[in-house]
Chain A
């Protein structure tokens, strides 16, 4: 039984990493820009489609494809932020949410028009084929890679925010926008940077998922609710919280499938509701 749980934990952990990549960008944008972007899942989806096209259709190198996808989605992020999101920072919450919802619809159809509505999946990169033997059961190399990638991103983000000058600017703007502006930080450019960075994180999540998951319209939106739950549990704007939250949600979902198949959908919402009622700022929020 213990072995089953441990193995299930590992599986859940790899699932968590996709959620982490999605939630990281979401919480970053909320913390710094103050916008809750429903369409964040669409950026995840675009990252997946881009990687599928470069790697699956054009046959480019896997790592190159991921890199190019990040650039493409980053570009889309620039357009989104400069042309649209910039104008909604000061307006009421309902309008913000509805605008981002509108983008979900646009991207879903756009993707259908360009790639067709049929689900697609590229081949697995050759060097990832195979398994480790963990607890007597096969655990794919690719899953290990995903876990390492997720942890690497977490460390990278921590380093950027704590140790670099850019990170310090971000933290300053997040806690007090006016003050930050007063001391000379160029807020608009910083905001664009952060948005694009968050978009690339989401795209990375989508890109890394392509060899194992189907690329279809709506794949990002299907996960966005879980990403919301994670950001709430961890604390809106809190990256550490998002990381921990993603792990909790991923592992709980995985346990749910093993132990309580009836309630797995329900569980994460109950957890979110409890957190909201008991500590609305989230586990790590202030």
Chain B
């Protein structure tokens, strides 16, 4: 074994302290309200696929804060989340959004669906179905559906059950607050089969984008 001298140990100790200091602000001080969130969304913020509770870890801060406000004012209808969100102050919403936005997503993906479902789902996610007016998911949610900016959350890392429920909620209007009504518009054009296919394919995708060979700028 390599001998670790005193000065090396010192460097390691400083590096460890440094890495704690470098953690996102939210990690250093989890807001007390996050304890309620963790019961369903997990201590790691990755949700609960079986129950359909979504991943929060690493979602855009603005998006998370918007959703809490929408739950509170009924723009996004959900009895449980309305109860959770209504008592929150603006500062608490901000702190929770920052906390979960700063969390690094981790974990695996759902198993791949059958070949037929995977092919149909992948086609929809990558190319859309323009005859029906359905744009590809990746055109707004980014390559690998890993999310873009503050308004287009990652779709990967969410369970098929959650994705399917959201598309249906956009469709029936029980979820609103999407910029320009884009998701409502798209969801109205999607069949139940398309919704299930794309949800299952997305749920089986890796959490992060593979290094791209595309030109850097």
A and B bound? Answer: no
